[in-house]
């Protein structure tokens, strides 16, 4: 089977067919960190140089494409590039050729991805802690916005990214609509209100938007609104249902939206690849002998590991009472200024862990302070964009999965990631 869709090629200067995998990976890491590839000596520790969790996943995906079965656990346990070089350059089988999946027709229904299905099920109000839409709601304060220009920029964004026009049916399948369901820019004109009235109005908008359930059955997964506070000050409200796009995709959306707004005549490179095609290609790759073998190994490992895993954290909860209001989500947050964030990243790298690992440790410690049992299991999101095509980084969709993290805070903090596929 052949395809006229371009596939990604190995990154870096070592692109010859006979190049060592470690040379190709070194180029990839150096490009990601913005450092000279010569800085990656055998005793260099990529994590201490600033390689984060997403960078680790890129290394793993690239290694797999080169026929190396590297895992996150192996790289984390052997933190020096010299050890990585030994792992990457060990004798290996030639990468297994996998035919691309048949082209996905526009508008053709396709199955939900793993986390999409979880989000879809969680919207059921009859489920415990259900009836909640997992979404991103963000506010941006800034100078005066040209509302006509913003409306046009959003429409261009909806046209560019098909997953902003996705509709989820009652059968648990999705399809991309030819036209967006977005009704247009909502404008809240608060300029004639006094300070107290403005604050109350902005709080009402925040309360309604942060608990809003978009009508995903009709293709409403993305919304943008503006509050006019004064002649020189506005607040931008952006609501994204995560059944259509993950947090990493939100960055893509905001970058493209900014481009369309600041330069109305800009023409971004056409997207010839799509999220539905990505899912189809990934399922096709999972039919390979290599994946089947790795899946069997992972299944056997999990079957042996499951009896020893702790349960979910037993946390205090409010007593359920008849007539209680629907489940509400309250965001608790603490902002680190640039100096504090840099210090956190420096300390994490000093100890050979990524900032995400450091935050996971703090999160587990907080949960452990309330949990009845000091041993508990958490289910954490994991971003996993496979390098199936050169345009995958520019796509919008839900590329996330989850990973189990077992914690034991009986004596002192001890974290270990549960291995598996």
- Rg of the chain taking only CA atoms, in angstroms: 24
pLDDT for 6 beyond 80: no
CA pair distance 138, 120, nearest whole angstrom: 21
Residue 14 confidence (pLDDT): 41
pLDDT value at residue 12: 39
CA distances from 77 to 42, 48, 72, 196 (A): 15, 14, 9, 55
What count of other Cβ atoms lies within 10 Å of the Cβ of residue 418? 16
Give residue-wise pLDDT tens across range 62-98: 777 777 777 777 787 888 888 888 888 887 666 666 7
Residue 194 phi, psi dihedral angles, 5° rounding = -80, 175
Specify the pLDDT at position 93: 62
- The model's pTM is 0.79
Integer distance in angstroms from the first to the last C-alpha of the chain? 28
Query: Is 293's pLDDT higher than 80?
Result: yes
Tell me the DSSP string of 355-378.
Answer: HHHHHHHHHHHHHHHH-SSSEEEE
Name the burial class of residue 21, with classes exposed (0-12), middle (13-18) and buried (19+) by CB atoms within 10 angstroms of its CB. buried
| Residue 330 pLDDT exceeds 80 | no
Q: How far is CA 131 from CA 68, 102, 209, 329, in A?
A: 43, 37, 15, 11
The distance of Cα 353 from the centroid of its chain, to the nearest Å, equals: 20
Please give the structure tokens belonging to residue 4. Answer: 């006229």
DSSP classification of residue 97: P
Q: Round the average pLDDT of the chain to a whole number and report it.
A: 85
């Amino acid at each position: 089977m052949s395809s006229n869709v371009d596939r990604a090629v190995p990154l870096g200067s070592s692109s010859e067919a006979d190049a060592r995998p470690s040379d190709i990976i070194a180029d990839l890491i150096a490009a990601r960190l913005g450092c000279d590839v010569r800085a990656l000596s055998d005793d260099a520790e990529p994590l201490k140089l600033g390689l984060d969790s997403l960078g680790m996943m890129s290394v793993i995906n690239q290694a797999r494409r080169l026929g190396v079965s590297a895992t996150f656990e192996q790289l984390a346990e052997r933190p020096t590039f010299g050890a990585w070089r030994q792992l990457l350059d060990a004798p290996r089988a030639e990468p297994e050729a996998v035919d691309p999946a048949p082209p996905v027709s526009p508008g053709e229904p396709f199955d939900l991805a793993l986390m999409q299905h979880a989000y879809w099920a969680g919207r059921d109000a009859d489920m415990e802690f259900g009836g909640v839409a997992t979404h991103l709601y963000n506010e941006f304060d800034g100078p005066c916005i040209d509302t006509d220009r913003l409306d046009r920029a959003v429409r261009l964004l909806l046209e560019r990214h098909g997953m902003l026009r996705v509709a989820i049916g009652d059968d648990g399948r999705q399809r991309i609509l030819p036209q967006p369901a977005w009704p247009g820019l909502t404008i809240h004109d608060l300029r004639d209100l006094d300070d107290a009235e403005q604050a109350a109005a902005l709080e009402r908008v925040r309360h309604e938007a942060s608990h809003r359930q978009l009508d995903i059955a009709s293709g409403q997964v993305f919304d943008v609104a503006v509050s006019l506070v004064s002649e020189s000050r506005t607040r931008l409200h952006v609501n994204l249902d995560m059944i259509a796009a993950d947090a990493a995709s939100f960055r893509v959306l905001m970058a493209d939206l900014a481009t369309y707004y600041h330069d109305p005549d800009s023409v971004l490179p056409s997207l010839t690849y799509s999220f539905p095609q990505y899912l189809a290609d990934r399922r096709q790759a999972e039919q390979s002998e290599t994946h089947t073998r790795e899946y069997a190994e992972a299944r056997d490992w999990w079957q042996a590991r499951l009896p020893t895993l702790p349960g979910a954290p037993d946390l205090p909860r409010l007593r359920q009472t008849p007539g209680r209001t629907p489940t509400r989500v309250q965001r608790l947050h603490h902002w680190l200024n640039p100096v504090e964030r840099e210090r956190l990243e420096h300390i994490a790298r000093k100890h050979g862990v990524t900032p995400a690992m450091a935050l996971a440790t703090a999160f587990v410690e907080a949960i452990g302070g309330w949990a009845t049992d000091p041993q508990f299991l958490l289910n954490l999101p994991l971003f996993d964009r496979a390098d199936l095509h050169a345009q995958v980084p520019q796509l919008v969709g839900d590329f996330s999965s989850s990973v189990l993290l077992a914690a034991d805070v009986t004596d002192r903090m001890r974290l270990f990631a549960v291995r598996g596929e």
